[in-house]
Structure 1
């Protein structure tokens, strides 16, 4: 059984991704990307979804720039179409987020994190949207800061570090490749949550890099330290 190098009580800072970690919202974002791209045909919409899943954690702005410039082949970003697509996406996401559930184990875990620990949300979602939905779900009060796009995750964490707002040992909790990239860049411990991830290669990726994986945050045995109840490589209860 794998475990993190420290118990939860030993961390001075914990950074959480939002979609797929705190909220059951990955499917909502995927469906919204498909709907926003559908005016350009089903094949284009399916490729947009595939790109979104492969590059979880990257902002919607970057994904739609790729869609128009790389996939559709525009030499210059067609701003009217670009902003219309962003608007279609945002409207569908907001409707879906109102109904989405908090991910299993999140509230119990947040209650058990020591009050002395600095807790942040660093999301690829729009900052105002993430703050709104976490407030709606009763989670906002657990965090010292909630941040999102249009600023990239790497830059958001860099700003926290520059402000000396991440004291002590630091843990990043995410469900995407880019979450691990950011954590590794800043020398943070990393926990991958697999239960809702849309990163299809997560198992091989985590095995190759010796990353601790849990299916749900409810599986953390806090009384005996931060330990995974599931062996690396299992997902959604399947052997």
Structure 2
């Protein structure tokens, strides 16, 4: 059987839940922005957890339009995006890297590596820089880039031996659409949405040593 990582494999990583154990922090911060609407807290919580991996602007738009029934939903999204950015700038500093990540990146220092996230570019770059790993990646793709399109573009430019690390169904679906290999990361106490899929699921990068 061909090894999961060959000498020519290009490594592509989502950010939240894949490079950093930050998904729980982001989910909580997202809901904290709606504390003024306690009567909708349960509906917001359910939607927030069911839509992990979707762009934040899309999630804000849905909640404002479909749950809060606000007439100014389109205009309000920009304000929520700005408040979210400010809140996460500090909170994400508390998010640790996924176990074994730094050693794994160092081990594969000679390989091409990319980040492919739906988080906003400033957030992605700040978190990579704060943790001292920004220089380990060839390029960083963030919102509004579509993950499947990014993977297909990397495939076209650099070759088709690509391994994408993700933690959500949207990550898995992007890998399937782009026809690239996929490994799921599951580093939280919550059940993995990938548990029912035929994918390799790991808790930290030491498992690939």
TM norm structure 2: 0.89
Match 1:20 to one of 7, 17, 20:
17
Query: For this pair of structures, how many residues does the alignment match?
Result: 209
Separation in 2, partners of 1:199, 1:65 = 27
Aligned CA distance change for structure 1 residues 78 and 108 (closer, same or farther; 3 Å): same
How far did 1:169 drift?
A: 1.0
Aligned CA distance change for structure 1 residues 44 and 157 (closer, same or farther; 3 Å): farther
> Following superposition of structure 1 onto structure 2, how do residues 32-181 of structure 1 map, counting pairs within 5 Å?
32-39=29-36, 41-74=37-70, 77-79=73-75, 81-113=76-108, 115=110, 117-161=111-155, 164-181=156-173
Match of 2:204 in 1: 216
Which segment is superposed worse, 188-197 or 21-30?
188-197
Point out where structure 1 has 5 or more consecutive residues left out of the alignment.
223-239
For the pair 1:194 / 2:189, whether they are aligned, the reply is no
SS, match of residue 73 in structure 2: coil
Aligned CA distance change for structure 1 residues 198 and 11 (closer, same or farther; 3 Å): farther
How far did 1:113 drift?
A: 1.5
TM norm structure 1: 0.79
Larger relative CO (CA 8 A, sep 6+): 1 or 2? 1
SS, match of residue 129 in structure 2: helix
Point out where structure 2 has 5 or more consecutive residues left out of the alignment.
none
What does the per-residue CA deviation read over 1:143-198, in whole Å, with 9 as the maximum and x for residues that have no partner? Answer: 1011111333233334434xx33324111101111000000001111100111375
Separation in 2, partners of 1:166, 1:47 = 43
How far did 1:76 drift?
A: 6.0
